[in-house]
Chains A and B, each alone.
Chain A
């Protein structure tokens, strides 16, 4: 019996290679089907952990979860003894797929359009499904990212994607999830390298800041008016037919509060500014960045505005800040009842380390369970897709990670990965280069 178990255990990784196709081969996508992960610890995230449970996946969705679940006939079965099943991790603050090499290869950078106001720049248009970053990231258990443009004042629209697919359309979970606004920063003198800077004139800085906010306000007001004109024409075709405007048109659902607006803001003044602006314009705000969010916690709670924290691993901005001020930020928001998610805030290469950002927050006050939620269910809730992503429940998209230990621990390995119910082979540009050179004599 013992020998049998040993053989089974040895066979597990080999079996992983049998299901699905090598997806680093461009254009190849593993087929959906019926799969059962048996006798595993299931961290549902939304409910209690299930010991010795089974998860059944059918045609892209989670069909059943529990201890008394029957394995359907013909299901491809995975022995989950000693393994844990988690929902795939979600990083809600990246430029995944928009940048291949940020420095020295401008041709591979598609993050920032020319000019200040580009609501019609859509990340989903430029996401490169064949970027090496995508496979490198997903093999570490990250199944989804919010990928956002970065430039100007209104950067464009962010997309929530699955890290699998041969075309942007196949990857998209929510192709146009949110409008991204860089909330204008007050009093930044530029430069900032060593020694004494020429002090910026405060009045000039403030009026410049107000001018930038006014630029955003004007465009959003124009979009409101444009939306009303379209509506009026729809009701009464005898009215003059309004000209279509490709820049204002995408803004209509955002100015009507139907879809969220992400404000990039790290410092207290900008967070408060963004909250005030969002209220004035009746927008549905999300704060992205949020280094000073703990200082604004009660207001964020009161307005029920969520924060996507990207600075857990940033150095404190002031010399007299406590050394752990940003490690503790998530725990402080949790205590204050503010909704939050943890993100790497990275363009692509660093996104695979998302688990460590959450783990560090747990080393500094956040509970381990909340740390897992901060990279699974919480970002799903913030992005309004908790009916599809972020936890292990029947009916949800089968984005699952099977590990040999605690999801956030560095030494833990990912053993199986499902995205959209498709078993993804755990190879990437990095595993391929490793295979090519590890035995070079």
Chain B
């Protein structure tokens, strides 16, 4: 029995996230609710993965896990509206329109950068296709359930989306001209407009064909259905308002181009991504009803980023645009709290406005605002406990919850380190892992993709022979 118990304990320790109490009470914290202000000396009750109570002196059942959060801060899990984490590949760049490919097919749930994101208080990601083509692949919205199978990551009910891209990456500006190889169309911002116009013209015809078939087949059951077109189906969903467009863009002219084109075809751009010159055309973006998902202050890394300014969030917010701050980088994802605080430093957003940039606003942009993005009773218990105000540079995350379960805990992480160090030492001593003697081949180990890169840089790397 004792042996059995020991085995059990080891199993539990090895899969800390899998055995969780169904009730947790976080006591006496400062709670940044996002929608209902900042509440001091407040408890948050988590039950069955949901937020069951927010208030003073809450009580929980006897078997609840109780966390004393005196002096600590609770904020909603951060939502990163532009990520390429856990994608085994990012760009299908061979065609200008690749709406038939899906990020959902290449999810790697063991990507360690997911854990590093959790350690920065991030709980939800919008996994986007790269920016190699005017119309790219389909996105996946996931909760970071690190340690669980990929299928459990998918955020139920999130609006399906797609990546569009404009500008330098689409033009392949950084790709070398290879003699004898024809460049992929388009090569200019004129061509980008034409490619998208052509695709939606075809999609509109395709939709009409199906609409006509459906109307006619109500009367005549023997009609042969039109041939399915996997490239055009997602575009029809866009036309019907059932799929969100997340459009990578930089300069003012291309932003206006896409707004005009979408207006002409009668669909909406849900978010402009990066949108570095959004501040120049903020009123047009607001009038279209699009959101903007941006970097806090990245600029100057290429020509189309040269007019980027860190006041972008503030100017667009004041114009009425729903703005979020994203990472586009597994490195930056770990400190989105700092990125959001920068909107207070540059441009004087209020604390609540700045908090929304990484919580409620990205939730709205992904169609999951009823589930996450604020601390309210009934919402998913996706939240993090910070040891100081998350807008302080001196803060760090103690514990991160997803659906009420602990997926990161600093104390547990620290406690496991000696054990991991021992395991590493043992493995290094094992015969197959010893460094080869001089002259031998080194072990054939898989190398991961470089994780610090944004999709821009990845484009470039992938294309180089």
A interface list, Cβ under 8 A from B? 100-105, 132-133, 136, 187, 192-197, 199-203, 206, 313-316, 319-320, 322-324, 348-350, 352-353, 355-356, 359-360, 362-364, 368, 408-413, 429-430, 433-434, 437-438, 440-441
Q: Of B298, B303, B314, B347, which is in contact with the most chain A CB atoms at under 10 Å from its CB?
A: B303
Q: A193-B462, A410-B393, A430-B310 are in contact. Are A322 and B413 (CB under 8 A)?
A: yes
Asked whether, in the complex, the Cβ of B280 is within 8 Å of the Cβ of A194, the reply is: no
Asked whether, in the complex, the Cβ of A438 is within 8 Å of the Cβ of B315, the reply is: yes
Q: A349-B300, A362-B393 are in contact. Are A410 and B345 (CB under 8 A)?
A: yes
Q: A194-B88, A196-B446, A440-B283 are in contact. Are A411 and B113 (CB under 8 A)?
A: no
Contacts of A187 in B (CB 8 A): 442
B interface list, Cβ under 8 A from A? 88-89, 112-113, 115-116, 119, 168, 173-174, 279-280, 282-283, 297-303, 305-307, 309-311, 314-315, 318, 330-331, 334-335, 338, 341-342, 344-347, 391-396, 413, 417, 420, 424, 436, 438-444, 446-452, 456, 460-462
Contacts of A355 in B (CB 8 A): 393
Interface of B is mostly: loop
Q: A410-B393, A433-B307 are in contact. Are A104 and B335 (CB under 8 A)?
A: no
Contacts of B392 in A (CB 8 A): 409-410
Instruction: Given contact pairs A316-B116, A352-B297, enumerate 17 new A-B contacts (beta carbons under 8 Å).
Output: A194-B447, A194-B449, A195-B447, A313-B335, A320-B420, A323-B119, A324-B119, A349-B300, A360-B338, A409-B392, A409-B394, A410-B345, A411-B344, A411-B345, A433-B307, A438-B314, A438-B318
Asked whether, in the complex, the Cβ of B345 is within 8 Å of the Cβ of A202, the reply is: no
Q: A323-B116, A410-B342 are in contact. Are A368 and B331 (CB under 8 A)?
A: no
Asked whether, in the complex, the Cβ of B396 is within 8 Å of the Cβ of A105, the reply is: no
Contacts of A348 in B (CB 8 A): 300
The residue in chain A whose Cβ has the minimal distance to the Cβ of B311 is: A434
Asked whether, in the complex, the Cβ of B447 is within 8 Å of the Cβ of A413, the reply is: no
Asked whether, in the complex, the Cβ of B391 is within 8 Å of the Cβ of A319, the reply is: no
The residue in chain A whose Cβ has the minimal distance to the Cβ of B302 is: A103
20 A–B pairs (Cβ distance < 8 Å), ordered by A: A104-B174, A194-B88, A194-B448, A196-B446, A313-B331, A314-B452, A315-B452, A319-B448, A323-B119, A324-B119, A349-B300, A355-B393, A356-B338, A363-B395, A410-B341, A411-B344, A412-B345, A433-B279, A433-B309, A440-B283
CB distance from B437 to the nearest CB of A (A): 9
Asked whether, in the complex, the Cβ of B330 is within 8 Å of the Cβ of A202, the reply is: no
Asked whether, in the complex, the Cβ of A103 is within 8 Å of the Cβ of B174, the reply is: yes
Q: Which 6 pairs show the lowest CB-CB distances between chains A and B?
A: A359-B393, A410-B341, A434-B311, A103-B302, A349-B300, A430-B309
Interface of A is mostly: loop
Contacts of B315 in A (CB 8 A): 434, 437-438
Q: Of A136, A192, A206, A438, which is in contact with the most chain B CB atoms at under 10 Å from its CB?
A: A438
Q: How far is the CA of A409 from the CA of B417 in the complex (A)?
A: 30
Asked whether, in the complex, the Cβ of A437 is within 8 Å of the Cβ of B279, the reply is: yes
Asked whether, in the complex, the Cβ of B391 is within 8 Å of the Cβ of A411, the reply is: yes
Q: A196-B444, A412-B345 are in contact. Are A101 and B300 (CB under 8 A)?
A: yes
Q: How far is the CA of A355 from the CA of B115 in the complex (A)?
A: 26
Asked whether, in the complex, the Cβ of A104 is within 8 Å of the Cβ of B116, the reply is: no
Asked whether, in the complex, the Cβ of A360 is within 8 Å of the Cβ of B393, the reply is: yes
CB distance from B106 to the nearest CB of A (A): 11
CB distance from A405 to the nearest CB of B (A): 11
Asked whether, in the complex, the Cβ of B440 is within 8 Å of the Cβ of A202, the reply is: yes
CB distance from A367 to the nearest CB of B (A): 11
Asked whether, in the complex, the Cβ of A434 is within 8 Å of the Cβ of B280, the reply is: no
Asked whether, in the complex, the Cβ of B309 is within 8 Å of the Cβ of A200, the reply is: no
Asked whether, in the complex, the Cβ of B301 is within 8 Å of the Cβ of A101, the reply is: yes
Q: How far is the CA of A360 from the CA of B173 in the complex (A)?
A: 36
CB distance from B277 to the nearest CB of A (A): 9
Q: How far is the CA of A238 from the CA of B191 in the complex (A)?
A: 74
Q: A104-B174, A315-B113 are in contact. Are A201 and B441 (CB under 8 A)?
A: yes
